[in-house]
Amino acid sequence: MVNLEWYRTFKAIYKKGTLTGAAESLFISQPGVSLHLSSLESYVGYKLFDRTGRKMIPTERGKVFYNFIIEPLAKLEEAEKNFQKSNEKNTPTISVGMCFETFQITLEPYVSTLPFNLIIQFGEYPEMLENLEKGILDLIITPQTGTTTTIEHEAFSSERIVLIGGKAVNTKEFNEQLKKGSTDEILAWLGKHKWYGTTGDMEHLRRFWQLNFNKHPDFRPNYIVPNLNSIVRCLYGGEGLAIIPNHIGKKEIESGQVKVIWEGHTVLENTLYFATRKKTVYEEEIALIKELIRKVM
């Protein structure tokens, strides 16, 4: 079946004359416009536009196709407006991508207070950035920036990747070895303790080890738990070590139940960005989400 959005995209290209103009009018990415057009052309079996530089010139068949679908499409769009449920029409839905741990400590407490619908997506940063470009997501929180000209990145916070431990960890010997600068002794002390890690991401541990010891860690954590917040809860008031971003265990660190043991010889710090499409109809809703996240971060 033909996707109704293909027709909308065809109409927008026809009226605007460029893929960029169509993308801006539809508030989706240019690759998304190209995908819709190629899908429609594949379905009908012939070219609808000739591409001349950046201009999209309708073919003769494209002109006939436009004249044939423009009136039915207008009626369908009118039907959408008139028969859509009133609560859906008046309440926008905002889709946000971020890591699970960040959601738990920032937006989760406020979800029930939001005056709009919310969809949270978890995943890898490149995938979320791609979904943002396609219009599937409206906002993502990421430590990475892309090169696309349709996405705007706004730095709003930073995170340090640090070695943390439970309250009961005795760090006297470790601090003495740090003063001596003995890498072998530091590694020996670290190797004496139980380590926590997560099922899906050991990148923080690998980067921290590479930066400070110029090699990859030669061990696997003793305890693999679902996420970084689980690590903090496991360490609470007890023993064990882990490498995590410092904002994850902020409250527990401030209470003294979890402590930052070492920031490394060289501080490993990530800048965190809000990433949004430059053209969006949800500026007010996105601004509210940003405000809530800034309160915590």
Among residues 87, 10, 15, 21, which one has the least CA distance to residue 44?
10
Q: Reply yes or no on whether the pLDDT at 84 is more than 70.
A: no
Contact 248, 236 (CB under 8 A): no
Per-residue confidence band for 284, with pLDDT thresholds at 50, 70 and 90 = very high
Tokens in use for 277? Answer: 């499409």
User: Can you list the alpha helix ranges (DSSP code H) found in the chain?
Assistant: 4-16, 19-26, 30-44, 60-83, 86-90, 100-105, 125-134, 172-180, 183-191, 203-213, 228-235, 250-255, 283-296
Instruction: Give the mean model confidence (pLDDT) for residues 221-238.
Output: 91
Among residues 64, 54, 50, 270, the alpha carbon closest in space to that of 157 is found at 270
Cα-flanking dihedrals φ and ψ of residue 61, to 5°? -65, -35
Q: Which residue has the tokens 């080890």?
A: 209
The region of weakest confidence among 6-20, 86-100, 231-245 is 86-100
Query: Residue 78 — pLDDT band, cuts 50, 70, 90?
Result: confident
Q: What is the mean pLDDT of residues 160-182?
A: 93
Question: Which residues does residue 156 pair with via DSSP β-bridges, in sequence order?
Answer: none
Say whether pLDDT at 48 is over 80: yes
pTM of the model: 0.61
Contacts of 267 (CB under 8 A, 6+ apart): 160
Distance CA 235, CA 196 (A): 9
First to last CA, the chain: 46
CATH homologous superfamily, domain 159-270: Periplasmic binding protein-like II (3.40.190.10)
What does the domain layout of the chain look like in residue ranges? 4-84, 88-157+271-296, 159-270
Residue 53, pLDDT above cutoff 90: no
Residue 247 pLDDT exceeds 90: no
Judge whether residue 146 has pLDDT over 80: no
* CA–CA dist 28, 270 (Å, integer): 29
| pLDDT, average across residues 276-293 | 93
Lowest model confidence (mean pLDDT) among 25-29, 71-75, 173-177: 25-29
For residue 172, pLDDT over 90 is answered with yes
Same fold, 4-84 and 159-270: no
The CATH code of the domain at 4-84 is 1.10.10.10
For 88-157+271-296, CATH number out of 3.20.20.140, 3.40.190.10, 3.40.50.150, 3.20.20.70 equals 3.40.190.10
